[in-house]
């Protein structure tokens, strides 16, 4: 079940919930003191960090070649299409933060298919040499 569920839906859904609740994505959540001042992190920044973590998990999961992995890729493509439609059609999703999250869903889709194809070709080549 874990392999079928596309993790990139988490940052997309979190952004959607925050956007529909009227949260200002550029509002600072907290700041980290640094030598040259402070690092201010906004809601959008935190959602981008969450998206990067989920993309990492998705790339690790895409190394498989089973049925669950293929279903995951299809659902990842659906999430990308939904995120792109939200970015293009809904005003509150037209931000740089959501654009980057949408780009991450695209990278998840493309990288998932590429990694699966390469892994399947390697499995086929190993099986054909026997």
Higher local confidence (pLDDT), 102 or 130:
102
Q: What is d(CA 89, CA 93) in angstroms, rounded to the nearest whole number?
A: 8
Average per-residue pLDDT for the chain = 86
The pLDDT assigned to 80 comes to 95
- Look at residue 127 and tell me whether its pLDDT is greater than 80: no
The pLDDT assigned to 128 comes to 55
Q: Average pLDDT for residues 105-115, to the nearest whole number?
A: 89
- The residues, any chain, with a CB within 8 Å of residue 79's CB and separated by 6 or more, are 6, 8, 9, 12, 105, 108
Q: What is d(CA 3, CA 42) in angstroms, rounded to the nearest whole number?
A: 31
Q: What is d(CA 20, CA 105) in angstroms, rounded to the nearest whole number?
A: 20
pLDDT 10s digits, 16-64: 999 999 988 888 888 888 998 888 999 999 999 999 999 998 888 877 6
- Taking the complete model, does pTM exceed 0.95, yes or no? no
Q: What is d(CA 25, CA 16) in angstroms, rounded to the nearest whole number?
A: 11
- Look at residue 65 and tell me whether its pLDDT is greater than 80: no
């Amino acid at each position: 079940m874990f392999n079928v569920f596309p993790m990139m839906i988490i940052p997309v859904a979190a952004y959607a919930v925050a956007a529909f609740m009227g949260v200002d994505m550029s509002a600072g959540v907290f700041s980290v003191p640094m030598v040259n001042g402070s690092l201010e992190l906004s809601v959008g920044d935190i959602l981008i960090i969450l998206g990067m973590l989920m993309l990492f998990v998705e790339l690790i999961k895409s190394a498989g070649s089973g049925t669950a992995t293929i279903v995951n890729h299809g659902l990842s493509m659906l999430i990308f299409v939904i995120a792109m439609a939200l970015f293009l059609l809904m005003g509150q999703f037209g931000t740089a933060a959501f654009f980057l999250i949408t780009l991450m869903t695209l990278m998840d889709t493309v990288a998932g298919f590429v990694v699966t194809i390469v892994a399947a070709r390697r499995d086929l080549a190993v099986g054909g040499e026997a």
